[in-house]
Amino acid sequence: MNIQWYPGHMTKTRRMMEETISLVDIVIELVDARIPYSSKNPDLDTLAKNKHRIILLNKCDLADDRATAIWTDYFEQQGFRVIQMNSLKGTGMNQVTDAARSLMQEKIEKLKARGRINVPIRSMIAGIPNVGKSTFINKYVGKAMTKTGDKPGVTRGKQWIKLKKDFELLDTPGILWPKFEDQEVGLKLAFTGAINDDILDAETLAVSFIDHLLLRNADAIRKRYQIAFDTAAEPHEVLRQIAEARSFKLKGGEPDLARTAKILLDEFRGGKLGRITLELPEDITEMLESKAEREASKATEDKVRKQKFKGKETK
C-alpha cells in the first residue's frame, strides 16, 4: 500500500514557516506518542536549525507508558526538551511555559541587564495533521482560540496568540513532508489518522494494521473482540473473525469487511484496544540501517551501470 498525501496548502504552510522561523526563539513540536518517530516532521530539523526545541509527546494516554519513557530518554539524548502530554485533559500543560522560560533564561537575563523587561518569548507550535495541536492550544490558552476537528488539516492559517506579557505562540497548520521515504512511516501515520481517510482504502489499511499488531500486540485484538488466532494467522482472516464477532454482515451473510475495517481503526484511535505504541527507537535504528543498505546497493548498481555504458561508448 503506497501512501503519499501532501495537499497544496501544506506547500504554502512550509513556505510560511520558512518566512517566519526567524521571528521565534523556540519551536514546540507535538508528536503522537504512539508513533513518535513517524509523526516527527524531519523538515523541522532543517527549518528550526539553531532554535531551541521542545517535543510534546501528545496522546501519551493512548500509548504504552514504558515505551513513552523510552522515547522520552531517546529524544532527550538528542538535545530536545521533552514533555509527556495529554492535551485533552491538560496533563503536562504547566510544564510547557516553565520549559520555555528555562531554555530562554540566559537571553532573558541579558535583556534585563540592558533594561529590556518583559520582552516576550516567541514560540512556534508545529505538528502533523490531527496530532492534537489545536486542542493543546485551546487548553493551554484557556479558551477556544483555534478551530478543532477530528479530521486532519482543519487549521489552515497562521495566527499569533499572546499569553500574558512574556509569552507568545505562533500557531501553524498541520504539515507533513512531501515524500515518505519509508512506507512504514506512511502506514503508521495512516493508522493514527494523520492522513485523510478519504484517500485510503479502509480494508487494505486495516489488514496492514492487523499485520503490524500480530508481530507486536496480538493480544490487543484478541481481548477486544474475544477471538482466537495465533501470530501466524493471515491478517485478512483475522479481519473476517472480527466482523463475525461483531455480527457485521452484508446481504447474503458475507462479512462486512469495509465496516469492520473502519470500526477497527476508529477503536484503535480512540484507545479502545488499549494503550499501544507502534514503534520503538530500536525499530527506527533497524529501519535506517535497512535504508542505508538499500541506498548503498543502489549506488553500487548505478556505478556498475555507468561503467558498462562507458565501456559500450569506447567500443
Residues of the binding site for GTP: 58-61, 86-87, 130-135, 174
Half-sphere exposure of 89 (CA within 13 A, CB side): 10
Distance between CA atoms of 152 and 187, rounded to whole angstroms?
A: 15
Q: Is the dihedral of CA 46, 47, 53, 59 positive or negative?
A: negative
Binding region? 58-61, 86-87, 130-135, 174
Residues in the chain: 315
